[in-house]
Amino acid sequence: MKNKDSELISEQRTLEKYLNFHGEHHSKTARSYNNIGVTQHEMKDYKSALESYQHALQIRLKLFGEDHSDTATSYDNIGVTQHEMKDYKSALESHQHSLQIRLKLFGEDHSDTALSYDNIGVTQHEMKDYKSALESHQHALQIRLKLFREDHSDTALSYYNIGVTQHEMKDYKSALESKQKALQIRLKLFGEDHSDTALSYYNIGVTQHEMKDYKSALESHQHALQIRLKLFGEDHSDTARSYDNIGVTQHKMKDYKSALGSHQHALQIRLKLFGEDHSDTARSYHRIGVAQYEMKDYKSALESHQHALQIRLKLFGEDHADTARSYDNIGVTQHAMIDYKSALESKQKALQIRLKLFGEDHSDTALSYNNIGITQHAMKDYKSALESKQKALQIRLKLFGEEHSDTAGSYDSISWTQNEIKIPYKLFGEDHSDIVSIYDRIGIAQNKMRDYKSALESKQKALHIRLKLFGEDHPDTAESYDSIGITQHEIKNCQSALESKQKALQIRIKLYGEDHSDTVENYRGIGVTQRAAKNYKAALKLHQYVVQTRLKLHGVYHPETAVSYRSLGITQREMKDYKTALESQQQALEIALKLFGENHPDTAESYDIIGDTQYDMEDYESAVESYQHALQIRIKLYGEDHPHTVKSYENIQLVQDRMTNDVSVIPEERELPNCMKYL
């Protein structure tokens, strides 16, 4: 920046000399104003640059009139600066002015004419007029191919710009081809260690990511990073951007630990370059929060999202899309922390901003309605949840039609709420008629009359759409088969549930291989259904495999490892191998305590399951102690009147009754965690 300051002072002194020697209306004076504008533009002082360029233009118009190459250059420079100032409408007018002059002076087949088409395309792209942008970039390419042939930097630039626009038009296959053409030219011209080569690798990675070819995307982003580190070092915005995109791809590959490290790397660079109050810094906090959420470190995730929110409020105020996104992410995290009241408030804030910015018929508005519905569902307000989710579905049908992944997601979400509606049984009195009997392990005998038929129909509808959109071998198709299997499990159609879950498993093995978190969870789900079908030997084998694989993938102290030990312990208990079951369940408890501490739902669940096993072992004193542990946590988390808390009271009463009665009390069946828990 010091060099630029010196350069600007030098240019301004030259201008003073030209004004003294030649006066205002001279070509050298105009050129001096133009050069000052170039330096101010490079210093990102766009307002001053625009004034300087406009000064040069006025002189040139007076000296040469419209039809002159210097006048065209002035219009072009003004357009580039207006573009940087995000005044795209004015930028487009300036570039079109420049183009008309150049066509008149040089005709189509000239490098300056190609430059004008290119600049027009870039501005049309920013205005989201992608069809026109593509036409402009293709026009520029045809001229450059005629003038320079393939192996020229301007030809590479055209291929690159065409690829970027094709990407925005979601024509990813064509985008990848265009970007790879640009890369091949740049490698031939510049070699590996060049900023344009790095940019090509980076953008190829972006398109591969959208095509869900995450392995290739990661390789491309890492290639770009290595070049940028060599060229710029750590402390550069492009290096930060590479770390950021590597993190995004690692996240998609479910390598959350690596993703967190990459995003933290990007954050440190951005804090050093930009400080706290910058949009890129906010984005880093946001992405760190997302990774922490996936790692179930909800406290840290909430802090990161709140950090992002504070920056965005300072930079943009309330009514901005990024602010809405922060409120939404805060709500999702509060939901995971079982703070449903706060979650609902945060999600409703996001909705109000999105309604104000976008209106009803927008994908972000639909997302807000759906997320609000998820929290209302968790609060057992099923009527409101269904209304919110149906609003989301109607918007998605209007925007995307039936055959879209978001529409399929809405059908899935609605089916989940439909599972909980239409219960003819009042569990907790007049004011709790909508509370579903999902906590059946408390031993209350009732006939669960859930609307599984509607749920299954909605999920099958979602599967049909996904098969049509993506075919068999796609993550969303696998998710649909798995979800259908869960509902079939609930209606005790274990054979169909196994078939659906095994279909999901085959897709995931094909997509991810054996050692992937989704594949391993699929094995666990199959084990849950085999256990329900009383095929304990097969279930035990699967649950042992899941434990060993997760130990290999994540180590001992990981939430998924804890879930694996819990599932293994339940199966061992069902096989009446109580001693081994207790060891597995205590291992799960130890992990939960280390990861989450005492006051966490998973910790309470572990104490509860340990109590079940101690009860079966007729170690009633230990069982009461475990159930009381679970009770104290649940009172603290949920209060007295929550079904989980009621369940703990019932468990304690059951054991105390057994301890005080001489007669044999047959305990009510303590069923495995149902499919709600499995999900």
- Contact at 8 Å (CB) between 394 and 355? no
- Residue 490 pLDDT exceeds 50: yes
At 419 the pLDDT is 60
Candidate from 538-552, 580-594, 629-643 with smallest mean pLDDT: 629-643
Q: Please tell me the predicted confidence (pLDDT) of residue 466.
A: 85
- pLDDT recorded at residue 673: 31
Task: Name the most confidently modeled range: 11-25, 420-434, 534-548.
Answer: 534-548
pLDDT tens string 661-679: 743 433 333 333 332 222 2
So what's the pLDDT on residue 396?
86
Percent of the chain at pLDDT > 90 equals 71
Q: What is the CB neighbour count within 10 angstroms for residue 234?
A: 13
346 burial type by CB count under 10 A (0-12 exposed, 13-18 middle, 19+ buried): buried
Task: Say which range, 43-52, 495-504, 655-664, has the weakest mean pLDDT.
Answer: 655-664
Return the HEC string of 56-111.
HHHHHHHHHCCCCHHHHHHHHHHHHHHHHCCCHHHHHHHHHHHHHHHHHHHCCCCH
Q: Cα separation of 647 and 127, whole Å?
A: 57
Buried b (16+ CB within 10 A) or exposed e, 558-597: bbbbbbbbbbbbbbbbbeebbeebbebbbbbbebbbebbe
Using 50, 70 and 90 to split pLDDT, how confident is the model at 253?
confident
User: What Cα–Cα distance (Å) separates residue 202 from each residue in 15, 244, 326, 353?
Assistant: 41, 11, 26, 33
Phi, psi of 542 (to 5 degrees): -65, -45
Q: Is the pLDDT of residue 137 over 50?
A: yes
* SS3 call for 517: helix
C-alpha dist (Å) from residue 495 to 158, 472, 505, 529, 644: 56, 21, 15, 9, 30
Under CATH, which architecture does the 525-590 domain have?
Alpha Horseshoe (1.25)
Pick the range with the lowest mean pLDDT from 24-33, 264-273, 400-409. Answer: 400-409
Among the listed ranges 122-126, 424-428, 586-590, which one has the minimum average pLDDT value? Answer: 424-428
- pLDDT tens for 144-180 read 999 999 999 999 999 999 999 999 998 999 999 999 9
At residue 108, φ and ψ (nearest 5 deg) are -70, -45
Cα-based distances in Å from 346 to 290, 333, 335: 16, 10, 10
The two most distant CA atoms of the chain are separated, in Å, by 116
Per-chain mean pLDDT for the chain: 88
Reading the block at residue 403, the tokens are 């055959």
Token look-up 């992990």 returns 591
Place of tokens 């069923």: 671
| Residue that wins the pLDDT comparison between 468 and 262 | 262
Q: From CA 325, how far away is CA 323, in angstroms rounded? A: 5
pLDDT of residue 666: 34
> If one looks up domain 423-512 in CATH, what number appears?
1.25.40.10
Residue type, 364: D
pLDDT digits (tens, 9 = 90+) for 332-389: 999 998 899 999 999 999 999 999 999 999 999 999 999 999 999 888 888 898 899 8
Q: Tell me how far apart the alpha carbons of residues 621 and 671 are, in angstroms, rounded to a whole number.
A: 22
Contact 461, 483 (CB under 8 A): no
Per-residue confidence (pLDDT) for residue 412, from 0 to 100? 67
pLDDT higher than threshold 80 for residue 200: yes
pLDDT of residue 158: 97
518-527 pLDDT tens trace: 899 999 999 9
Q: In this predicted structure, what is the pLDDT of residue 629? A: 96
Candidate CATH numbers 2.40.30, 1.10.101, 1.20.120, 1.25.40; the one for domain 597-661: 1.25.40
Q: How confident is the model at residue 110 (pLDDT cuts 50, 70, 90)?
A: very high
For the chain, the structural domain boundaries read 423-512, 525-590, 597-661
Residue 1 pLDDT: 58
Pair 625, 655: CB distance under 8 Å? no
In tens, the pLDDT along 291-348 reads 999 888 888 999 999 999 999 999 999 999 999 999 999 999 999 988 999 999 999 9
Residue closest to 292 by CA, chosen among 327, 332, 328, 319: 332
How do residues 410-466 score in pLDDT, each as one tens digit?
776 776 666 665 432 232 322 222 222 222 221 122 222 346 777 788 888 888 888
The region of weakest confidence among 444-453, 479-488, 550-559, 667-676 is 667-676
